[in-house]
Amino acid sequence: MSKYYLFQDTKKCIGCHTCEVACKANKNLPVGPKLCEIVTVGPVFVGNQPKAAYTFMPCFHCEDPWCVAACPTGAMQKRETDGIVFVDPLLCVGCKTCLSACPWGAPQWNPETGKAVKCDYCMDRLDQGKQPACVTVCTTHCLQFGPAETPPKIRRERYAKAMASLEETI
């Protein structure tokens, strides 16, 4: 489990795929691998109103990652300082075991290098004090990134606003 939390404000997300494209551009990836992806479910009518879910799927950076355990060469690793799960391309032999091991399909295949590639929260950018690529350019700023112990409060605030009665105090 990394010490970070990548929050998607699904209410604000418009499913535009900017995150996917920026991720690929930043990592200079060819057509094929998507280290993060917006998966759209719907739209379907709920009563008269069409509704859809636009779900952001990066790597979860698990506490006990299946991919790390499965990797036979030690290429797939968990960074000690902050728990980011990443793959070292110099050690990866392209066996694809990590692709099979991950229950959520996070590790991807790079056909140009013949190696596994995955979301590492852009740790090179983090180390320079920047945010992950997807978060930086997200069209609606619906992606937010930070220490897991201080998650965005937007959902609580929205609920409080919806429930607030300013005329009477219970």
Partner 1 sequence: MEKEVYSLCFMCSVRCPIKVTVENDQVKWIEGNPHVPGIEGSLCPKGAAGTALLYDHDRVQSPMIRTGARGSGQWRKASWEEALTMVGDKLRNIIDNHGGHSVALGERTQLATHVSKTFMKAIGSPNHFTHDALCKGSVNTAARSLFGYTDAQIGIDYKNTKHIVLYGRNIFEAIEVKGVNALTDAMENGAKVTCIDPRVTVTATKSSRYWMIRPGTDLALNYALIHVILRDRLYDAAFVDRWVTGLQELQDFVQPHTPQWAEGETGISAIEIENLAREVAKDSPSVIFHFGYRGASHTDEIYMRRSIFILNVLMGSIEAKGGLFFKKGPGEIGGKAARKLTEQTFPKIDLPRFDKVGTPDFPLPDPNHGVAQMLPYAILEEDPYPLKALINFRFEPIMSIPDSNLTKKALDKLDLIVTIDINYSDIAWYSDVILPESTYLERTDCIQQMNGLKPQMFLRRQSVTPRYDTRPGAMILKQIGEKLGIGEYFPYETMEELVAWQLEGTGFDMEDFQSKGFVAYGDKQILWDRKDGIPFKTPSGKIELESTLLKDAGYRSFPPYASVISPPDDQFRLVTGRCAVHTHVSTQNNPYLNEITPENTLWINAEKAGKMGINNGDWVKVSSSCGSGKIKAFVTPLIHPEMVFMLHGFGHESKGATRSFSKGLNDASLMENVSDMIGGSPAFHNTFVTVKPD
Tally DSSP H helices, then E strands, for the chain: 6, 8
Q: What are phi and psi of 11, to 5 degrees?
A: -65, -35
Nearer to partner 1, 63 or 157 (CB): 157
Q: In whole angstroms, what is the distance from residue 22 CA to residue 112 CA?
A: 19
Contact segment (CB under 8 A) with partner 1 among 59-67, 74-82, 90-98, 138-146 equals 138-146
For 20, left (φ over 0), alpha (ψ -120 to 50), or beta? Answer: alpha
Is residue 144 within the footprint of partner 1 (CB under 8 A)? no
The tokens describing 116, both together, are 């596994």
Nearer to partner 1, 161 or 169 (CB): 161
Contact segment (CB under 8 A) with partner 1 among 30-38, 72-80, 92-100, 113-121 equals 30-38
Rg from Cα positions in the chain? 18
Is residue 152 within the footprint of partner 1 (CB under 8 A)? no
Neighbours of 71 (CB within 10 A): 23
Is residue 16 within the footprint of partner 1 (CB under 8 A)? yes
Applying the rule CB under 8 A, the residues between 41 and 60 that interact with partner 1 are 42-43, 45, 48-52
Kindly list the residues in this chain that would bind partner 1 in the complex (CB under 8 A): 12, 14-18, 20-22, 24-26, 30-32, 42-43, 45, 48-52, 133, 136-141
